[in-house]
């Protein structure tokens, strides 16, 4: 296995704002020495239970750290071939063994897991005596080997990134720590270690889950994107272009009581909006717009310009369950010209009439996810009072349209 490592940040790039994280290939496992270096291979080969039994036997033997491996592997006292003391030959007994003991065995230096990033093992020698096992020490060890959540998280809650590799889980990491700490003279309960590793991992996963949710929902830019539009979200401005279809617009003349209805109408508008609240929160918005309306006269085959107006609008907006849906209470004033159809005594062209309108009504704005908050669908209902050509009417209309925010 290779310990080569290039650029960990480059390896961690995930999906863009769509929220679909790209599958990451596991990096090669780092080089490790001693039993700690083979623990992951053992777990994959014989399973966690068998590895647990190996660790218990290893822990018992670590109680005699100054014995060589051959003595530790010897059968227990009283069994066939048991060896406890060695006798050295002596010339005084003609080649027979004497009661003098052989030289004491040399202590074996423990071999610890090597950090793939630092190129050296955790500094166990710097831990003071007595060897008291603490969760703080375990957490420092995890930090030393760059233990953290997967990017993206995926479905495996016990998966983790450890020592610059995605190929680990909490059981692997817990077992490796037990082995490393035993070799350094610390005695930890394996179950307590696993619980502490999980407790270290879960908050990191929660933070990453929120980051991924923010990217999916458009609150934060994805990898490789910028967030210049959110330098200051207390106030902001936007320019939008809207297309609205009004299937019905009914007028009732205040003086005569006559009721008339416009044909289905298309409205095109450009709007500048000043937002007086933070993104995702309720507050006021002020807008100025220009608007043109088109419809086809009865018997005509092509629509004509019906009116042109300047619009001033104030709105109280509030998110509805999600920041992608916004409810608005709108009040607006329109000043412009209506272009009435020519009458029989007119030679040509529509007649221009000064017009004014005051309107109120609710509006719903749905921002389509994955478009960077640029594309919106708008639904509106409106009641108004209008005057044009000396006539005053009370109006009711419904509309639906799309809006592109520049």
Task: Report pLDDT digits (tens) over 357-398.
Answer: 898 989 999 988 888 888 999 998 988 998 887 788 999 988
Identify the H or E element spanning 172: helix 170-183
- Long-range CB contacts (< 8 A, 24+ apart) of 66-74? 66/104, 66/105, 66/107, 67/105, 68/105, 68/106, 68/108, 69/108, 71/105
Q: Do 167 and 44 meet the contact criterion of CB atoms below 8 Å apart?
A: no
Same domain, 205 and 250: no
Same domain, 192 and 273: no
Place of tokens 């609240």: 277
3-state secondary structure (DSSP) of residue 138:
helix
CA 36 centroid distance within chain: 33
Residue 146, domain extent: 8-75+97-216
**CA 389 to CA 383: how far, in whole Å?**
20
> Which pLDDT score is estimated for 194?
96
DSSP one-letter string for 8-54 = HHHHT----TT--PPPPPPPPPPP--HHHHHHHHHHHHH-HHHHHHH
- Residue 85 falls inside a structural domain: no
- Residue 3 falls inside a structural domain: no
3-state secondary structure (DSSP) of residue 94:
coil
Same domain, 208 and 247: no
- Residue 228 falls inside a structural domain: no
> Which pLDDT score is estimated for 137?
95
Same domain, 209 and 261: no
- Residue 221 falls inside a structural domain: no
Same domain, 63 and 193: yes
**CA 230 to CA 238: how far, in whole Å?**
12
Spell out, as residue ranges, where the chain has pLDDT lower than 50.
Answer: 1-24, 26, 31-33, 67-101, 229-232, 346-347
Same domain, 296 and 378: yes
Same domain, 202 and 251: no
Q: Do 164 and 8 meet the contact criterion of CB atoms below 8 Å apart?
A: yes
Same domain, 172 and 64: yes
DSSP one-letter string for 175-189 = HHHHHHHHHTT----
Same domain, 65 and 170: yes
Residue at a domain's end among 189, 216, 243: 216
Q: Which two tokens stand for residue 223?
A: 């990898």
> Which pLDDT score is estimated for 340?
67
Query: Number of H helices and number of E strands within the chain?
Result: 7, 13
Return the half-sphere exposure (C-beta side, CA atoms, 13 A cut-off) of residue 130: 3
Q: What is the pTM of this model?
A: 0.41
CATH of the domain at 258: 2.40.160.20
- Residue 83 falls inside a structural domain: no
Residue at a domain's end among 160, 187, 216: 216
Same domain, 207 and 250: no
> Which pLDDT score is estimated for 166?
87
Q: What is the DSSP letter of 134?
A: -
Same domain, 184 and 303: no
- Residue 90 falls inside a structural domain: no
- Residue 91 falls inside a structural domain: no
Count how many domains the chain has: 2
- Residue 81 falls inside a structural domain: no
Same domain, 193 and 264: no
Please name the residues in contact with 302: beta carbons below 8 A apart, sequence gap of 6 or more.
296
> Which pLDDT score is estimated for 225?
57
> Which pLDDT score is estimated for 88?
37
> Which pLDDT score is estimated for 182?
93
């Amino acid at each position: 296995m290779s310990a080569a490592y290039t650029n960990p940040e480059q390896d961690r790039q995930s999906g863009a704002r769509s929220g679909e994280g790209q599958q990451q290939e596991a990096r090669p496992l780092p080089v490790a020495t001693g039993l700690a270096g083979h623990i992951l291979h053992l777990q994959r080969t014989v399973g966690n239970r068998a590895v647990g039994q190996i660790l218990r036997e290893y822990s018992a033997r670590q109680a005699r750290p100054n014995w060589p491996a051959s003595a530790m592997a010897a059968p227990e006292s009283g069994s066939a071939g048991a060896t406890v003391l060695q006798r050295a030959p002596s010339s005084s007994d003609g080649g027979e063994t004497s009661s003098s003991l052989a030289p004491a065995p040399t202590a074996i230096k423990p071999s610890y897991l090597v950090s793939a990033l630092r190129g050296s093992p955790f500094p166990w020698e710097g831990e003071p005596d007595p060897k008291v096992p603490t969760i703080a020490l375990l957490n420092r060890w995890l930090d030393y080997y760059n233990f953290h959540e997967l990017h993206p998280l995926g479905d495996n809650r016990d998966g983790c990134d450890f020592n610059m590799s995605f190929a680990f889980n909490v059981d692997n990491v817990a077992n490796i720590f037990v082995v490393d700490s035993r070799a350094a003279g610390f005695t930890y309960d394996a179950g307590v270690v696993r619980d502490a590793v999980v407790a270290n991992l879960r908050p990191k996963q929660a933070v990453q889950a929120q980051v991924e949710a923010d990217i999916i929902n458009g609150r934060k830019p994805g990898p490789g994107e910028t967030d210049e539009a959110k330098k200051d979200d207390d106030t902001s401005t936007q320019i939008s272009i809207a297309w609205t279809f009004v299937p019905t617009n009914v007028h009732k003349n205040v003086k005569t009581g006559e009721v008339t209805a416009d044909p289905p109408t298309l409205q095109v508008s450009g709007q500048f909006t000043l937002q007086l609240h933070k993104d995702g929160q309720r507050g006021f918005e002020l807008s100025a717009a220009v608007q043109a309306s088109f419809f086809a006269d009865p018997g005509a085959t092509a629509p004509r310009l019906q009116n042109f107006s300047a619009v001033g609008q104030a709105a109280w907006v509030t998110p509805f369950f999600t920041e992608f849906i916004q409810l608005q209470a709108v009040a607006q004033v329109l000043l412009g010209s209506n272009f009435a159809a020519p009458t029989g005594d007119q030679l040509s062209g529509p007649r221009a009439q000064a017009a004014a309108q005051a309107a109120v009504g609710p509006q719903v704005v749905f921002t389509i996810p994955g478009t960077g908050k640029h594309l919106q669908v708008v639904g509106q209902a409106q009641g108004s009072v209008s005057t044009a050509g000396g006539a005053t009417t009370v109006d009711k209309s419904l509309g639906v349209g799309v809006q592109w925010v520049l």
